[in-house]
């Protein structure tokens, strides 16, 4: 079939429009899957954060990254949302990844791995449940994935979808700008506000009154607004 110049231009134009449509559609479809995943599992992640101390944002972001927001083959057939390798009891699919009876079991196994492996378990003492940046760095350094970009990809999910809003962060919390994990021996600073008590601050920061007094050289539990406390 022979086309005239105007007809060829029309065909080219239509192909270009189709390409733009597809390029726009694919990210939108991906974002939809991400949103559906967050809505479905955010409560589970928050419960685990409150029970174990891992940021809900980190739990969600790792799961989204490793399972393609629940759409990957191992997620659909094995209920494996964290890319954990192990015994596969599903005979219809050959895989080195571990299979689970439910997605909840996959989430529970992720927590177990974090607590049992020395490279990860130390993070529970080093960082609070709202310091997602250092948690992600620590998990990567602990050997969770071989990819050097793994951490930045996980953090991208957290930032893009504001997953840190599920972390129950203190109102005055400021993310560390450092690209390196914060040294656990380096104290962070809390500025006392009106109405604060030392016991209330200790509870908020996940420490004790005695530790705060020792670290700040306090002889009594009396504090005043504006005072800076190391913790």
Per-residue pLDDT tens, the chain, 231 aa: give them: 444 545 655 655 565 555 545 544 445 555 789 999 999 999 999 999 999 999 999 999 999 999 999 999 999 999 999 999 998 888 778 889 999 999 999 999 999 999 999 999 999 999 999 999 999 999 999 999 988 899 999 999 999 999 999 998 887 777 655 443 334 444 578 888 888 898 888 888 878 888 888 777 788 888 888 888 887
Cβ neighbours, 10 Å, residue 42: 18
Q: Which fold has domain 187-231?
A: Membrane-bound Lytic Murein Transglycosylase D; Chain A (3.10.350)
Query: Residue 91: its pLDDT value, please?
Result: 77
CA distances from 185 to 175, 177, 182, 223 (A): 17, 17, 8, 24
Query: Residue 30: its pLDDT value, please?
Result: 55
Query: Residue 11: its pLDDT value, please?
Result: 58
Query: Residue 173: its pLDDT value, please?
Result: 74
Per CATH, the number for 5-183 is 1.10.530.10
CA distances from 24 to 18, 19, 33, 36 (A): 10, 9, 15, 19
d(CA 231, CA 124): 15
Q: What is the DSSP pairing of strand 228-230 with strand 189-191? A: antiparallel
Q: Per the structure block, which two tokens stand in for 183?
A: 């040294």
d(CA 134, CA 141): 10
DSSP letter (8 states) at residue 10: H
The residue ranges of every structural domain in the chain are 5-183, 187-231
């Amino acid at each position: 079939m022979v086309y005239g110049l105007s007809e060829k231009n029309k065909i080219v134009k239509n192909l270009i429009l189709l390409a733009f449509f597809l390029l726009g559609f694919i990210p939108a479809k991906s974002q939809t899957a991400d949103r559906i995943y967050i809505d479905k599992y955010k409560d589970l992640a928050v419960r685990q954060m409150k029970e174990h101390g891992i940021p809900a944002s980190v739990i969600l972001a790792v799961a989204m990254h490793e399972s393609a927001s629940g759409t990957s083959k191992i997620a659909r057939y094995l209920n494996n949302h964290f890319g954990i390798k192990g015994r596969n009891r599903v005979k219809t699919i050959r895989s080195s990844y571990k299979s689970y009876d439910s997605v909840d079991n996959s989430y529970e196994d992720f927590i177990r791995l974090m607590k049992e492996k020395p490279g990860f378990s130390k993070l529970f003492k080093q960082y609070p449940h709202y310091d997602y940046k250092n948690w992600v760095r620590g998990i990567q350094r602990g050997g969770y994935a071989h990819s050097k970009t793994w951490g930045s990809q996980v953090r991208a999910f957290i930032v893009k979808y504001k997953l840190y809003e599920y972390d129950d962060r203190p109102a005055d919390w400021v993310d560390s700008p450092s690209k390196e994990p914060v040294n656990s021996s380096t104290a962070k600073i809390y500025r006392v506000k009106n109405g604060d008590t030392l016991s209330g601050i200790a509870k908020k920061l996940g420490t004790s009154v005695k530790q705060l007094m020792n670290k700040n050289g306090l002889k009594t539990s009396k504090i005043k607004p504006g005072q800076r406390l190391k913790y």
